[in-house]
Structure 1
Amino acid sequence: MPVTVLFAAKSERWEEYEAPLRTALAEKGVTADLVTEAAPETVDYIVYAPNSGLDDFRPYTRLKAVLNLWAGVEDVVGNPTLRVPLARMVDDEGLTQGMVEWVTGHVLRHHLGMDRHILGQDGLWRTGAPPLAFDRRVTILGLGALGAACGQALARLGFPVTGWSRSPKQVEGIDCLAGPEGLDAALARADILVLLLPLTPETDTLMDAARLAQLPRGAVLINPGRGALIEDEALIAALDADHLAHATLDVFREEPLPPEHPFWPHPKITVTPHIASETRAPSAARVIAENIRRAEAGAPMLHLVDREKGY
């Protein structure tokens, strides 16, 4: 008997995902009715985007799991009507590769001082080569799949990489720290700081004025993680005081970032429109299909969210 898989996301996403999902489910041997509308009591799985408008899961009495299309689950994990397993989008090679490319590109941009030459085409001969990678310390806050992959890519380029996570982890090529004392040490050695933490009550506004002050003078902050990890006003103050040299931001508390927001005109802030990475339909479809295959076979599902941790 086929399982019913409801695709609950924006309509334009259906056009992008329909064929890859059908292909991936077939390749995994899952017989499924893949639909965008169904009687709630007939639905076995929901492929879900938090901006879909679906926020009451109580009518879905046969539901076995919700498969999030995004890596972030902060908009759904606290939903009291969701009582079935919730899986994050992890190990999507497209999502990971996109983040690695964006983070590596912007770390290298700041490391090499590329803005100085790209924007300084004014006839002045600006001398002075940048330091080599092994003289520029990079810290990554967040050692999940994305943080670990970015850290290892930078380590392969020769950067000394420190990674921090709430609980202890070991990642080859990265000096891994954990806990409050580990956070202090990780910030103190961050010539370039990359934020790739999930948004939870513990990480909301993690980078406030006190923690920004722990960064070395002249440090650069890069945030492709979650906008609410940073206290906006404190970041602007740290830049205006020349404690931080620059901030490159891809995520924001409000998106799209309003035209009147002070980040836009600030000379030490680069705004990119949440393009660091995104879920790619072909690779994400394979992750979703594998989880449905596992659930139907009675095997443990992958990438399940810990409700207490929030990710």
Structure 2
Amino acid sequence: MRALKEHLPETEIVLRPERADDPAIRYAVVWKQPPGVLSELPNLSAIFSLGAGVDHILADRTVPDAPIVRVVAEDLTSRMSEYVVWRVLDHFRKGSTYRAQQAAGLWNEHRQPAAGDVTVGILGLGELGRDAAAKLRTIGFKVAGWSRTERRIEGITTFHGAEGLAECLAVSDILVVLLPLTPQTRGLIDDDFLSRLKTETPLGRPVLINAGRGGLQLDSAILRALNDGRLMEASLDVFEREPLPRDSALWRHPQVFVTPHAAASSDPAALAPLIARQIAAHERGEPLENVVDRQAGY
């Protein structure tokens, strides 16, 4: 609220409307809003999401028919790419193996492939996926990417559609998932999905990194794939239930790295000027940017 006020000094900003049908409220900035809180605002012109995803907004069936806007911010994109590069490099350079050796006082060197021998597959080629792909290419990895519809990106082998998804899985040594959560992607990472990954990679077996949405995965399927050898390791920032229940086996699994949905935390100071700029432009009659396609879900 304070950050927005700095950029919209003449605009009244409230944390929550005192009246459910307050006609003065024209814009809503939300993250996991209580169901129904937006439905009674008669003059709502736009809804801004404080995160990269909008599934938390669309999950409320009472959301009014106002444009929903994704905040595309360089800060948020950079944070996600930092996370992706960090986790890819940690798996690639055998971080868990060497940490275990350090704890045991062991001095053993392990064979290390070159980055150019490893293909990182990225599911989701929006702003986040394209930026992460570019940074991974700079390091030297081969990069493949999948999107729902066709995209052509220089230096990246791209796939699209149902057939293309299978092809992308088949070439990926490390798989990074950055997809939005939609009815079509919910529960995507299941036993069948994980069985379509490569059986052998330069690292030994495939690695899974999910920094998209917890609803994309079945936690139990990932555990089965780790235990039966279909997966070598996994880095998971998102889960079916959040916070991750304390009794979840993912907390203690030696081949899993857990972070608490912190891959790309939004910084209000970075997002506020972007939201304020859009509101000011919209008030001048200009069109909104990054408007969500409700049917597609992103």
TM, length-normalised to structure 1:
0.88
Q: Which amino acid aligns with 1:209?
A: D
Q: Which amino acid aligns with 1:304?
A: V
Contact 1:152/1:172 (8 A) holds in 2: no
- Show the counterpart of 1:23: 6
Instruction: Using the TM superposition, give the Cα deviation of residue 37 of structure 1 relative to its aligned residue in structure 2, in angstroms.
Output: 4.3
Q: Which amino acid aligns with 1:271?
A: V
CA distance in 1, matches of 2:99, 2:295: 46
184, 208, 214: which one aligns with 2:196: 214
CA distance in 2, matches of 1:280, 1:104: 20
CA distance in 2, matches of 1:58, 1:237: 42
CA distance in 2, matches of 1:291, 1:170: 29
CA distance in 2, matches of 1:81, 1:155: 40
Secondary structure of the structure 2 residue equivalent to 1:155: helix
Contact 1:294/1:300 (8 A) holds in 2: yes
Q: Which amino acid aligns with 1:113?
A: K
Instruction: Using the TM superposition, give the Cα deviation of residue 25 of structure 1 relative to its aligned residue in structure 2, in angstroms.
Output: 3.1
CA distance in 2, matches of 1:53, 1:80: 11
- Show the counterpart of 1:36: 15
CA distance in 2, matches of 1:273, 1:33: 34
231, 249, 258: which one aligns with 2:218: 231
Secondary structure of the structure 2 residue equivalent to 1:194: strand
172, 181, 190: which one aligns with 2:172: 190
CA distance in 1, matches of 2:139, 2:7: 35
Residues 1:288 and 2:288 aligned together: no
Sort the Cα spacing of 1:279 and 1:263 in 2 relative to 1 into closer, same or farther, 3 A.
same
Identity over aligned pairs, percent: 39
Q: Which amino acid aligns with 2:12?
A: D
CA distance in 2, matches of 1:107, 1:285: 31
Instruction: Using the TM superposition, give the Cα deviation of residue 268 of structure 1 relative to its aligned residue in structure 2, in angstroms.
Output: 1.5
- Show the counterpart of 1:58: 39
77, 84, 94: which one aligns with 1:113: 94
Q: How does 1:246-257 map to 2 (within 5 A)?
A: 246-257=233-244
Residues 1:69 and 2:56 aligned together: no
CA distance in 1, matches of 2:250, 2:139: 31
- Show the counterpart of 1:272: 259
Instruction: Using the TM superposition, give the Cα deviation of residue 212 of structure 1 relative to its aligned residue in structure 2, in angstroms.
Output: 0.5
Secondary structure of the structure 2 residue equivalent to 1:35: coil
- Show the counterpart of 1:125: 107
Q: Number of residues paired by the alignment?
A: 288
- Show the counterpart of 1:8: none
CA distance in 1, matches of 2:237, 2:23: 39
CA distance in 2, matches of 1:308, 1:41: 28
Secondary structure of the structure 1 residue equivalent to 2:23: helix
CA distance in 2, matches of 1:297, 1:175: 42
CA distance in 1, matches of 2:142, 2:62: 43
Contact 1:199/1:226 (8 A) holds in 2: yes
Sort the Cα spacing of 1:81 and 1:112 in 2 relative to 1 into closer, same or farther, 3 A.
closer
CA distance in 2, matches of 1:132, 1:24: 47
TM, length-normalised to structure 2:
0.92
Instruction: Using the TM superposition, give the Cα deviation of residue 175 of structure 1 relative to its aligned residue in structure 2, in angstroms.
Output: 1.6
Secondary structure of the structure 1 residue equivalent to 2:189: coil
Q: Which amino acid aligns with 1:295?
A: H
Secondary structure of the structure 2 residue equivalent to 1:33: coil
Contact 2:214/2:238 (8 A) holds in 1: yes
Contact 1:96/1:145 (8 A) holds in 2: yes
CA distance in 1, matches of 2:240, 2:231: 20
Q: Encode CA deviations 1:187-234: one digit per residue, 9 max, x unaligned.
A: 001110000000001001111111101111210000111112112222
Which segment drifts farther, 102-111 or 53-62? Answer: 53-62
CA distance in 1, matches of 2:219, 2:270: 34
Secondary structure of the structure 2 residue equivalent to 1:76: helix
Sort the Cα spacing of 1:105 and 1:228 in 2 relative to 1 into closer, same or farther, 3 A.
same
Q: Encode CA deviations 1:56-100: one digit per residue, 9 max, x unaligned.
A: 43321121111111111112225334111111122x122111111
Contact 2:243/2:260 (8 A) holds in 1: yes
Contact 1:41/1:59 (8 A) holds in 2: no
